[in-house]
Amino acid sequence: MTAYLLRRLLQMAPVLVLISIVSFSLTFVLPGDPALAILGEQNARDQQLYAQMRAQLGLDRPLPVQYLDWASHVLRGDLGTSTTSRQPVLLLIQQRMGPTLELGLFGFILAVVLGVSVGVASAVRPNSKLDVVGTLVAMAGASIPHFWLGLLLILTFALWLRWLPPSGYVPPTQDVIGNLRLMLLPTIAVGSGGAAVLMRQVRSAMLEVLGQEYITTARAKGLTAGAVTMRHAFKNALIPVVTVLGLQIALLIGGAVVTESIFSIPGVGRLAADSIFNRDFPVLQAIVLLVAISVLIANLITDFVYAWLDPRIRYG
């Protein structure tokens, strides 16, 4: 197991370097000049001032030198300064991390609880009413765009029924109930897609496992239906489910960009969307890098869980 983990960690190194190069390149492929953005059109007409700013930002050096300099700063936790707010990027991201983590966690919990429970129930009784309804809802849930679902939820529960507030954010440390009321609709918007995909995956994997001979043997031994389903079938159906869960992390982060924009949640997703429109390259660069590293870590955890679930993987 240790050798497998080490091998996976070593494979991560070149990918991390590639990710850092892609993130660094964003500064150069995005239209607009950071020096121009800081100085403004008027001041940038002064060639000397413009050249000074480019030198101050290090933009007059060769690209490999700039990359190595940037990478060494990143490794020391210095992600640069926002060109819009003039604050350190790391501080900006730290300030916005709470709402995004909360939304991601709630969305993930919703996806797992709903997806796994309905998926297992559907597989245990195939073609029952619950299975038919669950399959239809899963198909619809996997096809509905996050942002449209968000708009429909606001329209129905906030504007028509007036049960919940339409948008905004209150930290749970200030008002727990207020926070939960504000987070309920965004959680449904961001987690429903994942729940639908998981539901289909769990059902499919469970049906395949429940048809195996060792399940018949377990039943023949006189085990209860619950024991057969959970102890014998579910663990062996988990591998494809874990794959989907790993992929959901990336989807949740992508979904956060839109969901936070619709529900006015001051999180990292909204910061990313704002940074694109404000041409705030250091912020965008840092978010893209951190998000990619988070997804890479999620993939690594997924692989470790595979190896734990199935010995053939770690010895293969």
Please give the span between the terminal C-alpha atoms of the chain, in angstroms, as a whole number.
11
Output 12 or 223, the one with its CB closest to another protein: 12
- When binding is defined by CB under 8 A, the residue of 43, 148, 231, 315 that contacts another protein is 148
* Min separation Cβ 157 and another protein, Å: 12
296 is a site residue for another protein (CB under 8 A): yes
Distance CA 11, CA 14 (A): 7
What DSSP string describes 5-54? HHHHHHHHHHHHHHHHHHHHHHHHHSSS-HHHHHHHHHHHTSHHHHHHHH
9 is a site residue for another protein (CB under 8 A): no
Distance CA 17, CA 24 (A): 10
* Min separation Cβ 120 and another protein, Å: 15
Q: Which residues contact 146 (CB under 8 A, 6 or more apart)?
A: 189, 190, 193, 255, 258, 259
- When binding is defined by CB under 8 A, the residue of 254, 302, 304, 313 that contacts another protein is 254
> 281-309 and 2-29 helices cross at what angle (nearest 10)?
160
Q: Are 35 and 53 in contact (CB under 8 A)?
A: yes
Output 68 or 152, the one with its CB closest to another protein: 152
147 is a site residue for another protein (CB under 8 A): yes
Q: Binders of another protein among 79-118, rule CB under 8 A?
A: none
Output 79 or 251, the one with its CB closest to another protein: 251
Place of tokens 């504000």: 182
Output 172 or 236, the one with its CB closest to another protein: 236
Distance CA 264, CA 259 (A): 8
From 26-34, 62-70, 170-178, 215-223, span contacting another protein (CB under 8 A): 26-34
Q: Binders of another protein among 113-142, rule CB under 8 A?
A: 139-140, 142
- When binding is defined by CB under 8 A, the residue of 5, 30, 37, 71 that contacts another protein is 30
Name 81's bridge partners. 88
205 is a site residue for another protein (CB under 8 A): yes
How many alpha carbons fall within 13 Å on the CB side of residue 68?
A: 4
Both tokens assigned to 106 = 């709630």
* Min separation Cβ 220 and another protein, Å: 22
Distance CA 202, CA 121 (A): 10
* CA angle (237 as vertex; 236, 240 as ends), nearest 5: 120
313 is a site residue for another protein (CB under 8 A): no
Output 11 or 217, the one with its CB closest to another protein: 11
Q: How many residues bind another protein (CB under 8 A)?
A: 52
Interface contacts to another protein, rule CB under 8 A: 11, 14-15, 18-19, 22, 26, 29-31, 139-140, 142-148, 151-152, 154-155, 159, 204-205, 207-208, 211, 240, 250-251, 253-255, 257-258, 261-262, 272-273, 276-277, 284, 287-288, 291-293, 295-296, 299
